[in-house]
Amino acid sequence: MKAVYFAWVRERVGKAEEELEPPSTVTTVGDLIAWLAAQGDGYAHAFEKPSTIRAALDKVHTRHEAALAGATEVAFFPPMTGG
Amino acid sequence: MATIRVQREDFDAGAEAAALARGRSDVGAVVSFIGYCRDEGGRLAALELEHYPGMAEAEMARVARQAEARWPLIAVTAIHRFGKIAPGEQIVCVAVAAVHRGEAFAAAEMLMDFLKTRAPFWKRAIRADGAVEGWVEAKGDDDSAAARWGAAG
């Protein structure tokens, strides 16, 4: 699946997007966050506090408990500060 | 059907608001809100707004649909800019047309409360000395303001 990152998540990971191939044991958004946190220093920094990470599946806000099944794009970003 | 725009360019908020009532005889009230970039007492030179293309528009449309489901609105326009924005420049605009002012005021306020907490935009502050100050932190006040309207769904 395609992963996209924004704001300080993007800066810490060091890229704006990438293709991910997590193992089959990764079934939820929260699982994916935990798996990403183990993919290197930048990822560890970006995902050190999962509670501060917001996620979207196919451009819709989603909870960490949500299943990844069927989604083509997952996004990770900090709480929004627009407006 | 709301008009939603996400753009780098500035916009004419007065014209956007006026357009909601033009040529109609059923509009009794138009309420508009403009959010500006401020300089925080001279400290800030600019804000740099990042957004999630596609989701920003989709989420603003979802928020507008929630407002339209809650109040009998005639028209809604929401515009949000991205990129570098200097103090004094406009960042965001919502305009709502309705038969009566009550629902127009309420819907405009709800739209802004939800846009701040749900639309995928992130502000980074650039200081007057040119240094990047860092990402603006989300405010708990904004979450409280959005929560007043009940669960977003």
Listed residue (B113, B26, B9) closest to B73, CA to CA: B26
- Stretch A20-49: mean pLDDT: 97
Look up the CATH number of the domain holding residue B90: 3.90.1170.40
Tell me the pTM: 0.94
pLDDT in tens, A3-12: 999 999 999 9
Residue B56 CA to its chain's centroid (Å): 11
Domain layout of chain A by residue ranges: 2-77
With contacts defined as CB-CB under 8 Å, which chain B residues touch A53? none
Contact A80 B49 (CB under 8 A): no
CA closest to B117 among chain A residues: A80
- Whether complex ipTM tops 0.90: yes
CA closest to B136 among chain A residues: A81
DSSP, residue by residue, chain B: --EEEEESS---HHHHHHHHHTT-SS--EEEEEEEE---TTTTEEEEEEEE-TTHHHHHHHHHHHHHHHHS-EEEEEEEEE-EEE-TTSEEEEEEEEESSHHHHHHHHHHHHHHHHHHS-EEEEEEETTS-EEEEPPPPHHHHHHHHTT----
Contact A80 B116 (CB under 8 A): yes
The answer to whether position B97 is within a domain reads yes
Instruction: Give the nearest partner residue to A82 out of B54, B58, B115, using CB atoms.
Output: B115
In the block, residue with structure tokens 């004094």: B88
The answer to whether position B41 is within a domain reads yes
Distance separating alpha carbons of residues A38 and A34, to the nearest angstrom: 7
- Stretch B104-108: mean pLDDT: 98
Q: Name the domain count of chain B.
A: 1
Distance separating alpha carbons of residues A79 and B61, to the nearest angstrom: 19
- Stretch A52-68: mean pLDDT: 97
Between B140 and A17, residue with greater pLDDT:
A17
Contact A79 B138 (CB under 8 A): yes
The answer to whether position B69 is within a domain reads yes
Instruction: Give the nearest partner residue to B136 out of A59, A77, A81, using CB atoms.
Output: A81
The answer to whether position B152 is within a domain reads no
Q: Is B88 left (phi over 0), alpha (psi -120 to 50) or beta?
A: left
Containing domain of residue B107, as a range? 3-146
The answer to whether position B151 is within a domain reads no
Distance separating alpha carbons of residues A80 and A60, to the nearest angstrom: 14
CA closest to A55 among chain B residues: B120
With contacts defined as CB-CB under 8 Å, which chain B residues touch A83? 35, 80, 91-92, 112, 115-116, 119, 121, 142
How many beta-carbon contacts under 8 Å exist across A and B?
72
- Given pLDDT bands bounded at 50, 70 and 90, which one contains residue B1? confident
Q: What is the mean pLDDT of chain B?
A: 95
Distance separating alpha carbons of residues B51 and A13, to the nearest angstrom: 17
pLDDT for position B76: 98
With contacts defined as CB-CB under 8 Å, which chain B residues touch A7? 50, 122, 124, 135
Q: B133 — contact with chain A (CB < 8 Å)? A: no
Whether the pLDDT of residue B151 is over 70: the answer is: no
The answer to whether position B121 is within a domain reads yes
- Stretch A47-64: mean pLDDT: 97
Query: Residue B112 to residues A27, A36, A54, B96: CA-CA distances in angstroms?
Result: 35, 33, 20, 11
- Stretch B94-111: mean pLDDT: 98
Distance separating alpha carbons of residues B4 and B80, to the nearest angstrom: 8
> Is it true that domain A2-77 has CATH number 3.10.20.30?
yes
- Joined together, the tokens standing for residue B14 give 């007065």
- Given pLDDT bands bounded at 50, 70 and 90, which one contains residue B144? confident
